[in-house]
Amino acid sequence: MTSGAHAGTSDARDGAAVALRWRWCLSALTLGCALVAVGCGGSSHKAAPSTGGPGLSDPDNQTLVKADLDLLGAARTTSRILSDPQGVRKALQLLRALTVTQTLGVAPDQTVGGQLASNLFDQLDGILPGALTTGTGSAERLNAPVVRRFQRYARTKPILVEEPTVKQAVGQLTRILSGRPANLRVTLAGQQPAVTARQDLARDAQTTRPYWPQLSAQLSQLATRLR
């Protein structure tokens, strides 16, 4: 296989793995929006929430959506680590091999050694989609800070692997939503179901509660302080 053809194949496989992770997160986020909109145990015919004002600015909306997705991704990764010790052992083995390939400067699109690196990334993404890597195709690399935490804590204190990501997301939500109206629309104009700031924080608090109860409590407290 030529280098160009291999690069195309690698891009397709790695792009599909990353797309799969984000598709799961977006599906979970949409489902969470729907559940919050109708209310826990409430009637599915309940009127849509009254939202105040034009909503968030585009930059703030993008940051909020990313924070929501980061929380979902962190919870999903943590759940997998806790439920699949065999997968954790396999991932640690793959990381040792990938560390060697990166030290040698072997990229997934290179003719010599590239197929090996590409296969290792594929296997790693199959265990923890997108959690330990960054970039796609020939630009895919190990996410060094997350990898270090995974290698240190995955078998002993798995909650700590994604905790910095969750802390950062909670900080972003706090910055964007502190002092805002509780009924501020945080979904894009015209997007249904419409979700308010209080509903978004309630969903995120529920997502984080099983693994990071203190951070979940911060989100709940932030929701109560909305105007």
Pair of tokens at residue 9: 């194949």
Q: Closest by alpha carbon to 130, among 211, 9, 13?
A: 13
Q: What is the pLDDT of residue 127?
A: 95
Q: What is the pLDDT of residue 79?
A: 97
Between CA 93 and CA 104, with CA 99 as vertex, the angle to 5 degrees is 135
The SS3 assignment for 184 reads strand
Q: What is the pLDDT of residue 166?
A: 98
Q: What is the pLDDT of residue 110?
A: 62
pLDDT digits (tens, 9 = 90+) for 113-149: 667 888 898 999 999 998 999 887 777 889 999 999 9
Q: What is the pLDDT of residue 149?
A: 97
Q: What is the pLDDT of residue 193?
A: 80
Q: What is the pLDDT of residue 39?
A: 37
Q: What is the pLDDT of residue 44?
A: 39
DSSP label of 203:
H
Helices 114-127, 85-103: inter-axial angle, 10-degree rounding: 150
Q: Closest by alpha carbon to 95, among 157, 137, 21, 146?
A: 146
Q: Closest by alpha carbon to 96, among 137, 37, 147?
A: 147
Give the residues of the chain that fall short of pLDDT 50.
1-24, 26-28, 30-52
